[in-house]
Amino acid sequence: MAFAAVLSSASPRASRHLHPLSSKPLRAPTTRTLALPSAADLSLDAPAALAVGSVAALAAAISFADPERRRRQQAEVVGGDDKEVVRDYFNNTGFLRWKKIYGDTTEDVNRVQLDIRLGHAQTVESTLRMLRDRGPLAGVTVCDAGCGTGSLAIPLAREGAIVSASDISAAMVTEAQRQADEALGKDTNNPSVKMPKFEVRDLESLEGKYDTVVCLDVLIHYPQGKAEGMIGHLASLAERRLVLSFAPKTFYYDLLKRVGELFPGPSKATRAYLHSERDIERALEKVGWRVRRRGLITTQFYFANLIEAVPVSLA
């Protein structure tokens, strides 16, 4: 899940766009106001921003919040740490919510969820364009780390890639397999289409070697210290390319996240960690990789940095 929040753009057209991929860092879009979410919007587990008169008023409100206590209570309930909270959430209420967001029906889906669906779809499509730019995907081995319901793994397999897809959530993996069977089953007689291999695994347990490793909207569940180690681990599995998306850490997005923690909604969501581009680049540089291209995907409620990294030795 990438960072989602409510905001109002200075331009009515600026709230839904994909910045062109480039090799230079990108700034967050300029914004002027925070929008007041409806009661339905606040049912999302994503952070929601409340309109207030000034930054000082926001800071005062945040000072009374104690999101860490709520997170500790979540961990105590499931008997584990952040990872166990994530596993429990995406096997239960989180699975039902994100299955609906990632789906294609509009029944019982509110405007915020539809917008997040659009943002995630843009991230997937941008990733596919990145992967296609060096030629056909037929025969290319891809590790889809944190595959969710298969929104990337399925189109990759349709183009002939050999996909190993995994998720920490057994419910997500079961749904991904079901959707793959439905989408690709009719192509079983096409030798170029290979059914993805789906497994229930966390990122730490992934192993093997792949042409490309992709990890979309997962680093939001890792604090910077653990994210750095995880990026190194993912890079060790990739021979040619590593594609990552992550929730951008800027003053503005961090403020939205902190305000959103004042309104956690009726369901208990997982902790959200934002990451700066420089921190991600530094983690890649430590293991001999560099950023080749980058982009920023933003809709009204969804924000994600997308980067493609390659080994320095192949640059």
Domain boundaries, the chain: 87-311
309 closest CA partner among 297, 295, 291: 291
Answer for the pair 148, 167: CB distance below 8 angstroms, yes or no. yes
Distance (Å, rounded) from C-alpha 258 to C-alpha 34?
A: 13
Q: Per CATH, which fold does 87-311 belong to? A: Rossmann fold (3.40.50)
Residue reference for tokens 């909604």: 265
Global pTM value: 0.76
Per-residue tokens: 214: 């992709």
- The confidence band for 128, taking pLDDT boundaries of 50, 70 and 90, is very high
Q: Is residue 79 predicted with pLDDT exceeding 90?
A: no
Summarize pLDDT for 267-298 with one digit per residue, the tens.
Answer: 445 678 999 999 999 999 999 999 999 999 99
Average the pLDDT over 32-52 and give the result: 35
Beta-ladder partners of 248: 275
Work out the average pLDDT over 159-182.
Answer: 96
The predicted structure's pLDDT at residue 81: 67
What Rg value do the Cα atoms of the chain yield, rounded?
19
Helix residue ranges, H only, 103-169 = 111-132, 153-158
Mean pLDDT of the chain: 78
pLDDT of residue 283: 97
Instruction: Give the phi and the psi of residue 155 in degrees, each rounded to 5.
Output: -65, -30
- 182-231 pLDDT, tens digit per residue, is 999 877 678 788 899 999 999 999 999 999 999 999 999 999 999 999 99
| Side chain identity, residue 29 | P
- How far, CA to CA in Å, does 137 sit from each of 142, 153, 163, 306, 313? 9, 12, 11, 20, 22
**Quick one: pLDDT band at residue 238, thresholds 50, 70, 90?**
very high
| 3-state percent helix, strand, coil for the chain, nearest multiple of 5 | 40, 20, 40
**Which of 102-111, 120-129, 259-268 has the highest mean predicted lDDT (pLDDT)?**
120-129
Distance CA 223, CA 283 (A): 13
Residue 59, pLDDT score:
46
3-state secondary structure 63-105: HCCCHHHHHHHHHHHHCCCHHHHHHHHHCCHHHHHHHHHHCCC
**CB atoms inside a 10 Å sphere around CB 137:** 22
